[in-house]
Amino acid sequence: MLDASLVKEALKKSKVKSEQFKDLEYLRFTDDYKNIPRGTVIFQEFTIFGYPHIGRIFQLSTGLREQFTEPFWVEEKVDGYNLRIFYHKGEVYALTRSGLICAFSTDRVLDFIDKRFFEDNPDLVLCAEMAGPENPYVEESPPYVKEDVRLFVFDIMRKNESTFLPQREKLELIEKYSLPSVEVFGRFTVDQVEKIKDLLRKLDQECREGVVFKEDSERNKRVKYITRYANLNDIRITSLNIMGLPADYYTNRLLRLALFIEEEGLEKDDSLYTELGKAFLEGIFQACKLSREEGKVYRTFRCRFHSKENLLIFLEQIKHSSAHIQIIERGIRQEGNMYVLEFDKVFLNMTGLLGHVLRGGSVFD
Amino acid sequence: MLDASLVKEALKKSKVKSEQFKDLEYLRFTDDYKNIPRGTVIFQEFTIFGYPHIGRIFQLSTGLREQFTEPFWVEEKVDGYNLRIFYHKGEVYALTRSGLICAFSTDRVLDFIDKRFFEDNPDLVLCAEMAGPENPYVEESPPYVKEDVRLFVFDIMRKNESTFLPQREKLELIEKYSLPSVEVFGRFTVDQVEKIKDLLRKLDQECREGVVFKEDSERNKRVKYITRYANLNDIRITSLNIMGLPADYYTNRLLRLALFIEEEGLEKDDSLYTELGKAFLEGIFQACKLSREEGKVYRTFRCRFHSKENLLIFLEQIKHSSAHIQIIERGIRQEGNMYVLEFDKVFLNMTGLLGHVLRGGSVFD
């Protein structure tokens, strides 16, 4: 459990916010504070630690040797959003990375997880990626999720503990309860770097995001590594809102992209350059078109709920989630047993800046 | 003149620094402070105001109409660095935009300016761009400066005044003293936007940077507008040091590039996309090569001096000009009557980050 005086201190420094989901009240760390990661949440009966930051390597050949002293597991990194799923008084809830109970994810999580897992193991927390074209947060989705969303477990934690179960224990639980999980490519040593490069080249061709390496040791050290495809795709997807992103978003991805290409010995040819140039410019052209024709730059999202109550709670949640994004509801309709919500995210920075300059305004930069 | 109490206030807030060039002492505004622009310098006998910020438009068709109510002059914007050139006790000095007397520019300025101009008009200040492949500051240079540097006057100020002489007075002085100047394309009205678009398309094809519009009115309002070529070239030139630049450097240029292409009706074809992708990646590949082979990312500069004393002063000046750049002297040699300095700028951020990740280090981003 967390030290009470530390929590008080964090509250005073506004690093902790009080939240409510239905009748469940909790505290949430909105930033890292001392050794407590952002997204850590405190309920009356227990604490769930935030999912830790994972370092990124830019080179396999030197990176694996530098980072690991023991063999390590290689698992797929799925392109979705991070959840921590837990059990409380007979109900299953899903927390986002930032520590909010998400009404959408909570509504959907039992489509993928056998509740028995939690009934047998009420003190465990599943760390999983929710991914697919109909998720409300990220615009990317893995190529093999063709519709709606799917869930992919990649770690298991315990309530009140900040560490993960060992890999074998995790795999046993995944098997025992038929939990959906990320693909595990196996256990490797640093001498197998050529095999790992082959794997990454294959994942790249299959339009998959990348991998997480997890050392098979007490310290359970992790690093991640991303494909050429994923870096290009990040640029392609976000260039519609290019002035709204953190400024180093693109420079980071360009560096990763260049190093992936060098390490994997991919061609530095015109088709690569064309793909990159297109990734940047097509989104900006599209943003200009939207600004001229509709006066705003936005993207439409859709997601499906079982419960209309959860849908309405979710709509309130997302409306207040960012000062830089305006949510406009497009409609709610029933489809079979489910409720489909459609909404637009209006990118306010991009809308404002583009509107200003297209009307002839000047900028001091 | 500046109000003494304002200067005291700015000194207290560390917005003003004391400087020395040979036996000339002065104060320099290192930041904008209230209505005093960065680069303003105070000598015992007079003040020279900083060159003001000029707003940028992203669209000609709407922009000129939005910005101007009177006809305006259109002048070339030359891709070099900004100087303010002044006379003091029989000597001519050149100030950089940030308000430092530059030993290089001061050494060379009388190659281009007839000293009679200052003898007849000791209270005038020439605002000019120094540009060419052998300048010590910027890596870009106009296509028509094939070697060394040249100087291009674009404004004339008076000591102790923050405004410019009217365009016609400036043009008369330029003619009278045969001052080298930027190309003046003429006086236009907002109804001639198609003509101006044609001009910009031509400048773009000639690999020139762009134009400054100057309203022919009391308020003498200015805005600038940059070509596709210049935006692409900025990316191409700086991608070697991509992690060392302000993060919005690239997003800004991408937006300008997209809007230039749209407005001028240029092809959105593969050759454009390829050129952009190449501009980003070739510099990064080159940086990786330098990092692997020489352990540092750098670019070599060369510039020519008349006086060896000025060369040595300049070398000291530039060594202390940035915490992010290390200057390594490559050599000094005599060529005819001149001294040639060669030096490397080592980009420390890029060198550090690239060295770290190529050695296998991880990054939390």
Query: Tens of pLDDT along B188-222?
Result: 999 999 999 999 999 999 999 999 999 999 999 99
Q: Which helix (H) or strand (E) holds A29?
A: strand A24-29
For chain B, the average pLDDT equals 96
Using the predicted structure, report yes or no on whether residue A320 has a pLDDT greater than 80: yes
Band (pLDDT 50/70/90 cuts) for residue B313 is: very high
Q: Which helix (H) or strand (E) holds A16?
A: strand A16-21
Partner B, chain A 258-297, Cβ-Cβ below 8 Å: 258-259, 261-262, 268, 270, 272-278, 280-281, 284-285, 288
- Shared domain for B264 and B244, answered yes or no, is yes
B321 vs B280, more confident: B280
SS3 B43: coil
Using the predicted structure, report yes or no on whether residue B296 has a pLDDT greater than 80: yes
Does residue B205 fall inside a structural domain? yes
**B67, B251, B258: residue with CB nearest A247:** B251
Give chain B's largest Cα–Cα span. 64
Which of A226, A255, A280 is the endpoint of a domain? A226
Per the CB < 8 Å rule, is A358 touching B255? no
Using the predicted structure, report yes or no on whether residue A3 has a pLDDT greater than 90: no
Q: Which helix (H) or strand (E) holds B77?
A: strand B72-77
Residues of chain B with pLDDT > 70, as a percent, come to: 100
Per the CB < 8 Å rule, is B281 touching A254? yes
Specify the amino acid at residue B352.
G
Per the CB < 8 Å rule, is A58 touching B364? no
Using one digit for the tens of pLDDT, what is the confidence trace for B93-131?
Answer: 999 999 999 999 999 999 999 999 999 999 999 999 999
Per the CB < 8 Å rule, is B243 touching A255? yes
Partner A, chain B 218-237, Cβ-Cβ below 8 Å: 223
Q: Which helix (H) or strand (E) holds B343?
A: strand B338-347
Number of helices and strands (H, E) in chain A? 11, 17
Of all residues in chain B, the one with the smallest CA distance to A271 is: B274
- Give how far A25 is from chain B: nearest CA, Å: 31
pLDDT score at A183: 98
CA atoms within 13 A on the CB side of B290: 22
Exposed, middle or buried by CB within 10 Å (0-12, 13-18, 19+), for B78? buried
Does residue A13 fall inside a structural domain? yes
Q: Which of A121-130, B3-12, B224-233, B300-309 has the lowest mean pLDDT?
A: B3-12
Band (pLDDT 50/70/90 cuts) for residue A333 is: very high
pLDDT score at B39: 98
Of all residues in chain B, the one with the smallest CA distance to A249 is: B247
- Shared domain for B57 and B206, answered yes or no, is yes
Q: Which of A156-160, A163-167, A304-308, B1-5 has the lowest mean pLDDT?
A: B1-5
Q: Kindly provide the b/e burial profile for residues B206-227, where b requires at least 16 CB atoms within 10 angstroms of the residue's own CB.
A: ebbbbbbbbbbeeebbbbbbbb
User: Which of the residues A290, A358, A359 would you substitute to probe the B interface, choosing the one with the greatest number of B C-beta atoms within 10 Å?
Assistant: A358
pLDDT score at B241: 97
SS3 B360: coil
Q: Which long-range contacts (CB under 8 A, 24 or more apart) does A15-24 make?
A: A19/A99, A19/A100, A19/A101, A21/A93, A21/A100, A21/A101, A21/A103, A21/A106, A21/A313, A22/A313, A24/A88, A24/A93, A24/A101
Average pLDDT over residues A250-272: 95
Does residue B65 fall inside a structural domain? yes
- Give how far A356 is from chain B: nearest CA, Å: 10
Would you give the distance in Å from CA B312 to the centre of its chain?
23
Does residue B4 fall inside a structural domain? no
Does residue A27 fall inside a structural domain? yes
- Shared domain for B216 and B83, answered yes or no, is yes
Using the predicted structure, report yes or no on whether residue B73 has a pLDDT greater than 90: yes
Q: What share of chain B is helix, strand, coil (3-state, %, to 5)?
A: 40, 30, 30
Task: Residue A200: give its domain's CATH number.
Answer: 3.30.470.30
Nearest to A132 by CA among A113, A116, A151: A151
Band (pLDDT 50/70/90 cuts) for residue B360 is: very high
Contact B346, B301 (CB under 8 A): no
pLDDT score at B150: 98
- Shared domain for B84 and B163, answered yes or no, is yes
End-to-end CA distance of chain A: 49
Of all residues in chain A, the one with the smallest CA distance to B246 is: A247
Partner A, chain B 29-68, Cβ-Cβ below 8 Å: 53, 55-59, 61-67
Of all residues in chain A, the one with the smallest CA distance to B362 is: A57
Print the domain residue range for A178: 4-226
- Give how far A260 is from chain B: nearest CA, Å: 11
> Could you tell me the sign of the dihedral formed by the alpha carbons of A282, A283, A289, A292, in that order?
negative
Residues of A with Cβ-Cβ distance to B61 under 8 angstroms = 360
Using one digit for the tens of pLDDT, what is the confidence trace for B259-279?
Answer: 999 999 999 999 999 999 999
Average pLDDT over residues B39-46: 97
Cα gap A63→B362, rounded to integer Å: 7
Does residue A363 fall inside a structural domain? no
CA atoms within 13 A on the CB side of B322: 13
Per the CB < 8 Å rule, is A247 touching B248? yes
Residues of B with Cβ-Cβ distance to A278 under 8 angstroms = 273, 277
Nearest to B43 by CA among B29, B25, B16: B25
Of all residues in chain B, the one with the smallest CA distance to A255 is: B284
Nearest to A280 by CA among A316, A310, A249, A256: A249
Specify the amino acid at residue B115.
K
Ramachandran bin of B186, using left for φ above 0, alpha for ψ from -120 to 50, beta for the remaining angles: left
Does residue B353 fall inside a structural domain? yes
Residues of A with Cβ-Cβ distance to B59 under 8 angstroms = 357-358, 360
Token code pair at residue A21: 């989901």
Could you give phi then psi for residue B218, rounded to 5 degrees? -50, -50
Of all residues in chain A, the one with the smallest CA distance to B272 is: A277
Band (pLDDT 50/70/90 cuts) for residue B78 is: very high
* Lookup result for tokens 């000194």: B11
Contact B141, B133 (CB under 8 A): yes
- Shared domain for B70 and B212, answered yes or no, is yes
- Shared domain for B121 and B192, answered yes or no, is yes
- Shared domain for B61 and B128, answered yes or no, is yes
Of all residues in chain A, the one with the smallest CA distance to B263 is: A358
- Shared domain for A275 and A221, answered yes or no, is no
Per the CB < 8 Å rule, is B258 touching A288? yes
Per the CB < 8 Å rule, is B251 touching A268? no
pLDDT score at A4: 86
Contact A75, A214 (CB under 8 A): yes
Residues of A with Cβ-Cβ distance to B284 under 8 angstroms = 254-255, 258
DSSP secondary structure, A212-268, as one string = EEEESSTT--EEEEE-HHHHHHHHHHHGGGGGGS-THHHHHHHHHHHHHHHHHT---
pLDDT score at B48: 98
Which of A226, A258, A279 is the endpoint of a domain? A226
- Shared domain for B58 and B188, answered yes or no, is yes
Using the predicted structure, report yes or no on whether residue B247 has a pLDDT greater than 90: no
Residues of A with Cβ-Cβ distance to B359 under 8 angstroms = 62, 66
* Lookup result for tokens 């134009």: B211
> Could you tell me the sign of the dihedral formed by the alpha carbons of B268, B272, B276, B277, in that order?
positive
Nearest to B7 by CA among B52, B53, B40: B40
A365 vs B39, more confident: B39
Band (pLDDT 50/70/90 cuts) for residue A247 is: confident
- Give how far A291 is from chain B: nearest CA, Å: 12
For chain A, the average pLDDT equals 96
pLDDT score at B348: 97
Exposed, middle or buried by CB within 10 Å (0-12, 13-18, 19+), for A71? middle
* Lookup result for tokens 């009388």: B110
Per the CB < 8 Å rule, is A57 touching B360? yes
Neighbours of A206 (CB within 10 A): 12
**A223, A262, A281: residue with CB nearest B288:** A262
- Shared domain for A208 and A103, answered yes or no, is yes
- Give how far A49 is from chain B: nearest CA, Å: 19
Per the CB < 8 Å rule, is B258 touching A57? no
Does residue A130 fall inside a structural domain? yes
Task: Residue B253: give its domain's CATH number.
Answer: 3.30.70.2160
Contact B352/A at CB under 8 A: no
Band (pLDDT 50/70/90 cuts) for residue B27 is: very high
Count of pairs with CB atoms under 8 A, one residue in A, one in B: 175
Residues of B with Cβ-Cβ distance to A245 under 8 angstroms = 251
Using one digit for the tens of pLDDT, what is the confidence trace for B133-154?
Answer: 999 999 999 999 999 999 999 9
- Shared domain for A27 and A63, answered yes or no, is yes
Q: Which helix (H) or strand (E) holds B124?
A: strand B124-131
User: Which of the residues A289, A353, A363 would you substitute to probe the B interface, choosing the one with the greatest number of B C-beta atoms within 10 Å?
Assistant: A363
Residues of A with Cβ-Cβ distance to B58 under 8 angstroms = 357-358, 363
Contact B252/A at CB under 8 A: yes
Which of B262, B283, B304 is the endpoint of a domain? B283
Residues of A with Cβ-Cβ distance to B276 under 8 angstroms = 273, 276-277, 280-281
Task: List, in order, residues 6 or more apart from A103 with CB less than 8 Å away.
Answer: A21, A310, A311, A313, A314, A317
**A250, A360, A363: residue with CB nearest B62:** A360
Cα gap B308→A324, rounded to integer Å: 55
Q: What count of residues does chain B have?
A: 365
Using the predicted structure, report yes or no on whether residue B30 has a pLDDT greater than 80: yes
Cα gap B173→B179, rounded to integer Å: 8
What letter does residue B142 receive in the DSSP assignment?
Answer: -
Of all residues in chain B, the one with the smallest CA distance to A58 is: B357
Contact A67, B360 (CB under 8 A): yes
- Shared domain for B97 and B174, answered yes or no, is yes
**Structural domains counted in chain A:** 3
Would you give the distance in Å from CA A95 to the centre of its chain?
12
User: Which of the residues B281, B289, B351, B364 would you substitute to probe the A interface, choosing the one with the greatest number of A C-beta atoms within 10 Å?
Assistant: B281
